[in-house]
């Protein structure tokens, strides 16, 4: 799946929406994609904790953290739980922490940056609502793909033709 996004853009240009460049790739899986599950929460990762405990095969958690650079929405314990439950990856419009441990996991993780401070746990946020950042709206049940070239969304699963 090396350089997946350029190939998807070449084959599905009319279908895909590409997120403005802003994310860093922190997980051990550099290229990933799957069905979108969304969370909208500001500086509270309670819903992230709940979702990574659920089966995630074929799914990517897209977290709209409001672009906060003041708290980390994901750390190593939640990332490990996501990996154990089969999640393909997590994209966070916000920060993560424990980057060395997360880099060792077989999980895709992209975020705006890193911050050592954890979030509060107030149970705030919304699950599976459309979220918009970087010029793209992510809708639950649609698809997202990410690699070192960026992040893109598509209304359906994309498969490249066999060479």
Q: Cβ of 157: how many Cβ atoms within 10 Å? A: 12
| DSSP state, residue 125 | -
Asked whether the CA dihedral 16, 19, 21, 25 is positive or negative, the reply is: negative
47 assigned ligand-binding residue: no
| 4 annotated binding-site participant | no
How do 89-96 and 59-64 pair as beta strands? Answer: parallel
Q: Is 10 annotated as a binding residue?
A: no
CA distance 139 to 130: 5
97 annotated ligand-binding residue: yes
- 98 belongs to an annotated ligand binding site: yes
Torsion of CA 100, 103, 149, 133, to 10 degrees: -80
Strands 136-138 and 131-133: antiparallel
Residue 123 marked as a ligand binder: no
**Binding site listing for Mg(2+):** 98
**Binding site listing:** 75-78, 97-98
**Binding site listing for substrate:** 75-78, 97
């Amino acid at each position: 799946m090396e350089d997946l996004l350029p190939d998807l853009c070449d084959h599905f240009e009319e279908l895909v929406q590409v997120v403005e460049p802003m994310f860093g790739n922190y997980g051990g899986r550099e290229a990933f994609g799957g069905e979108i599950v969304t969370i909208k929460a500001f500086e509270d990762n309670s819903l992230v904790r709940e979702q990574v405990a659920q089966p995630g095969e074929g799914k990517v958690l897209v977290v709209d953290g409001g672009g906060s650079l003041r708290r980390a929405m994901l750390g190593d314990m939640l990332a490990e739980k996501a990996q154990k439950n089969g999640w393909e990856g997590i994209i966070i419009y916000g920060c993560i922490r424990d980057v060395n441990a997360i880099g060792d996991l077989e999980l895709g993780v992209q975020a705006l940056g890193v911050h050592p401070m954890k979030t509060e746990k107030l149970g705030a946020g919304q699950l599976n609502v459309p979220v918009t950042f970087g010029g793209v709206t992510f809708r639950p049940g649609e698809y997202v793909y990410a690699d070192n070239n960026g992040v893109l969304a598509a209304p359906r699963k994309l498969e490249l033709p066999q060479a």
